[in-house]
Amino acid sequence: MTSGKASLAAAVLLALLAVTAAAAAAPLGDAAPGVAIYERCQACHSLERNRTGPKHCGLLGRPAGGVAGFSYSAALRDSGIVWSKESLERFLEAPLTAVPGTRMGYAGVKDPQERADLIAFLAAAAPCKD
Amino acid sequence: MTDTTVLLPRRSFFAAAGRTTLSAGAVMLLAGCGTRQAAMAADPSADANILNSALGAEQEAIAAYQVGAESGLLSQPVLDLAVQFQGHHKEHADVLAKIVRDLGGQAVEPLASYDFPTDQLKSEADVLRFAAGLEKGAVSAYLGAVPLFAERELAKAAASILGDEAMHWAVLRCALGENPVPVAFVS
């Protein structure tokens, strides 16, 4: 094998390893067990109503701080985040680390499978009625 | 746990539950109120931020119990218990607001109005289930807050309130005829 081919093979191998590692880091989510995980959020949130925290219907694809009429922290409003599975994965693991200054005083959902299930639940939730 | 507790007459269960709640003095002591402990937090603004999250949830719980109490759907002794639990939330809120101010922060104010699903509250069981959901959420919220405090006394105070919310949740589940303590660990 030439050095060029060896380099290419190594690069492909590294890419495959990276994909495998990413897959291992973010397990497939299941919305059904996500229902129970979401109950933890219900001190402050609901799907349909703004409470201490903003409503979660229509969350994926929405800019952080994007629910009209809800008073957000400047930190979250100015974060530039658009909620996706990836950004939720980072935020839900450690909200105060992901967005220092957020008012969400919660340590986070530390278990990767629980996070994936919670995100699957949020993604499957019905869109907002208004 | 056996099912014995579930089968106790409701009135006697509620009477027993009322005797086991924490006093305001105990929470104040745990929170270090009246001392400078809270003001010595390593990161007071971060702690105040976390406490304000909890304060907002307590204020909502106070308003929710008011809705339940005024719904006309609660019979005795459930109504008295709801008012008692509301009183606990008021005590929690008073303590949390005081600590936030002691830390140099500005305590959040209750919202002018709350958007509760009142159209779904048509029976005593509906009100109890609504309250139980709030209490369960509160347990999770305090559990998620405890590890965040820079000041350990605040973590202790939050854990004390968590215990109170868990008792509320268990009693409400019992009133619904459900296993009051369905799991060994809360999450």
Q: Give the model confidence (pLDDT) of B37-69 as tens digits.
A: 433 446 788 999 999 999 999 999 999 999 999
The residues with which A82 forms a beta bridge, in sequence order, are A63
Residue in B with minimal Cα distance to A102: B49
Q: What is the mean pLDDT of each run of 10 residues along chain B (187 residues)?
A: 35 39 41 42 82 96 97 97 98 97 96 94 98 95 95 95 98 97 95
**Under a CB-based contact definition with an 8 Å cutoff, are residues B158 and A43 in contact?**
no
pLDDT category of residue A117 using cuts at 50, 70 and 90: very high
Residue in B with minimal Cα distance to A111: B187
pLDDT score, position A100:
94
Residue A10 has pLDDT above 70, yes or no: no
Residue range A72-100: mean pLDDT, rounded: 97
Nearest to A40 among B46, B53, B187 (CB): B187
The angle at the Cα of A26, spanning A25 to A31, to the nearest 5 degrees, equals 150
pLDDT score, position A27:
87
Among residues A118, A130, A112, the alpha carbon closest in space to that of A31 is found at A118
Q: Give residue limits of the domains in chain B.
A: 9-175
Is the Cβ of A107 closer than 8 Å to some Cβ of chain B?
Answer: yes
pLDDT score, position A130:
75
User: What structural domains does chain A harbor?
Assistant: 29-124 (1.10.760.10)
Residue A23 has pLDDT above 90, yes or no: no
Q: Is the peptide bond before B77 cis (omega within 30 degrees of 0)?
A: yes
Q: What CATH architecture does domain B9-175 belong to?
A: Up-down Bundle (1.20)
Which tops the pLDDT comparison, A5 or A74? A74
pLDDT category of residue A4 using cuts at 50, 70 and 90: low
pLDDT score, position B20:
36
B3-18 confidence digits (pLDDT tens): 333 333 344 433 443 4
Is the Cβ of A84 closer than 8 Å to some Cβ of chain B?
Answer: no
Q: Terminus-to-terminus CA distance in chain A, angstroms?
A: 62
Task: Return d(Cα A115, Cα A100) in angstroms, integer.
Answer: 20
Residue range A74-98: mean pLDDT, rounded: 97
Mean pLDDT score across all residues of chain A: 88
Among residues B160, B102, B173, the alpha carbon closest in space to that of B134 is found at B173
| Beta carbons within 8 Å of B78's beta carbon, 6+ residues apart | B14, B124, B128, B175
Query: Exposed, middle or buried: residue B50 (CB in 10 Å: 0-12, 13-18, 19+)?
Result: buried
A99 φ, ψ to 5°?
A: -135, 85
Continuous H helices in A26-126: 31-39, 74-77, 85-93, 95-98, 112-124
A24-52 confidence digits (pLDDT tens): 567 899 999 999 999 999 989 999 999 99
Among residues B29, B18, B19, B165, the alpha carbon closest in space to that of B95 is found at B29
Q: What is the ipTM of this complex?
A: 0.77
Among residues B157, B136, B170, the alpha carbon closest in space to that of B50 is found at B157
Verify whether the Cβ–Cβ distance A43 to B115 is below 8 Å: no
DSSP three-state, residue A82: strand
Residue in A with minimal Cα distance to B55: A52
Task: Return d(Cα B125, Cα B26) in angstroms, integer.
Answer: 32
Q: Residue B161 is encoded by which pair of tokens?
A: 């309130």
Is the Cβ of A103 closer than 8 Å to some Cβ of chain B?
Answer: yes
pLDDT score, position A12:
59
Residue B131 CA from chain centroid, whole number:
10
Q: Which helix (H) or strand (E) holds B138?
A: helix B124-145
**Under a CB-based contact definition with an 8 Å cutoff, are residues A99 and A75 in contact?**
yes
pLDDT score, position B2:
35
**Under a CB-based contact definition with an 8 Å cutoff, are residues B167 and B17 in contact?**
yes
